[in-house]
Amino acid sequence: MNRKIIFLMFILVLLLNACKQDKNEADNKSDPVVKVFNSYLYADDISKIVPPNSNPEDSMNIVQSYINNWIQDQLMLNKAEEYLKEQKADIDKKTEDFRNSLMIHKFKETIIKNNVDSNMSSDKISNYYETHKQELKLNSSIIKGFLVKLPKSTSNFADFKIVINSSDNSDLDEIVSFVKLKNGVFEDFTTTWSNFSEQMLKMPIAVEDEKTFLKRSSTFESEDTNFFYYMHVNDYILSGEEAPLEFVRNNIANILIQLESSAILEAYKQDIYDEAVKTGKIEYY
């Protein structure tokens, strides 16, 4: 039996022993598998890398690859420490700074999570909107309506226009039924505001002046090689005008969460500072 097979069998035995260890001994290291300089790789370290139900050959390959990579990492680390000896202090300082920043960041997240309600009340959102609505201007025009896309292979646009003209656009059931029958696409944004420019990207129409375009008509028709397009606009608000509350509700909620989070963190920092001064934990020299 060659050395590789003996070695891999030894590894598997160690893995099996490690997996059978009692949970109460989880803090104790098992026998080492390999040593590189002063670093050890233990069976416990690799006991969980083999997926359940793996066949023996796959298991051995996974273990062997993991061990080889670990050995290479240790050799590279040793060389890096030798080569970057003069920079080690700077690297250690940056590592410590990163660790401290990460700890503080995670602690702040915990404070916010425990003290800030992510579900802002409607009253708070409405009050903020009434106070700041003159500042909440639209960057682009928004619309309410619906968009239809019909494949030319299954429909005739004239038939669709008959349905449109005979239907009340406030009751879309007949239109939706026709579109569905013809394997088309119906997008309904009659009750929610939608970005006008984003909707127009779905139609082969170039719009140079949104204001003129929207004021000219409430319906837009177009076609390309494969599809007919039809858009009906029930309502619109132009870019630069005040945004409606329902359109900026989520943005306002996020602003309020940020404001409350900042206020709570500042208050907490002041409290722990005052406590540290009171108990003599801060000393100036």
Token pair of 67 as six digits: 């061990």
How many Cβ atoms are within 10 Å of 27's Cβ, its own excluded? 6
Query: pTM for this one?
Result: 0.68
pLDDT at 60 (0 to 100): 84
Distant-in-sequence, close-in-space partners of 29: CB < 8 Å, separation ≥ 6: 40, 42, 44
Residue 153 falls within a domain, yes or no?
A: yes
User: Are 126 and 255 within one domain?
Assistant: yes
64 or 189, which is more confident: 189
Q: Are residues 51 and 92 in the same domain?
A: no
Question: Is the residue at 105 inside a domain?
Answer: yes
The per-residue pLDDT for range 114-170, each reduced to its tens digit, is 999 888 999 999 999 999 999 999 999 999 999 999 999 988 889 898 998 887 766
Q: Is residue 154 part of a domain?
A: yes
Tell me if 165 is assigned to some domain.
yes
My answer on whether 61 and 126 are in the same domain is: no
Range of the domain at 100: 86-115
Task: Please indicate, yes or no, whether residues 157 and 70 belong to a single structural domain of this protein.
Answer: no
Asked if the structure places residue 126 within a domain, the reply is yes
Q: Do 151 and 220 sit in the same domain of this protein? A: yes
Residue 270 has phi, psi (to 5 degrees) of: -65, -40
> Could you give the CA distance from residue 63 to residue 49 in angstroms, rounded to a whole number?
8
Q: Is 164 in the same domain as 44?
A: no
- Residue 209 tokens read as 């002046």
CA nearest to 221, candidates 236, 207, 237, 205: 205
| Domain count across the chain | 4
How many angstroms separate the CA atoms of 234 and 240, rounded?
Answer: 19
Residue whose C-alpha is closest to residue 149's, from 201, 206, 217, 210: 201
CA dihedral 274, 279, 280, 282 (to 10 degrees): -40
pLDDT recorded at residue 170 = 67
Question: Has residue 137 been placed in a domain?
Answer: no
User: Is residue 281 assigned to a domain?
Assistant: no
pLDDT above 60: residue 241: yes
* Residue 237 φ then ψ, to 5°: -135, 130
Check whether 195 has a pLDDT greater than 60. Answer: yes
199 and 255, same structural domain?
no
In this structure, the answer to whether residues 76 and 10 fall within a common structural domain is yes
Does 47 share its domain with 104? no
How many other C-beta atoms can be found within 10 angstroms of the C-beta atom of residue 206? 7
Residue 283 forms part of a structural domain: no
Both 10 and 71 in one domain: the answer is: yes
Q: Are residues 56 and 185 in the same domain?
A: no
pLDDT interval class at 23 (50, 70, 90): very low
pLDDT score recorded for residue 156: 86
67 CB neighbour count, 10 Å cutoff = 18
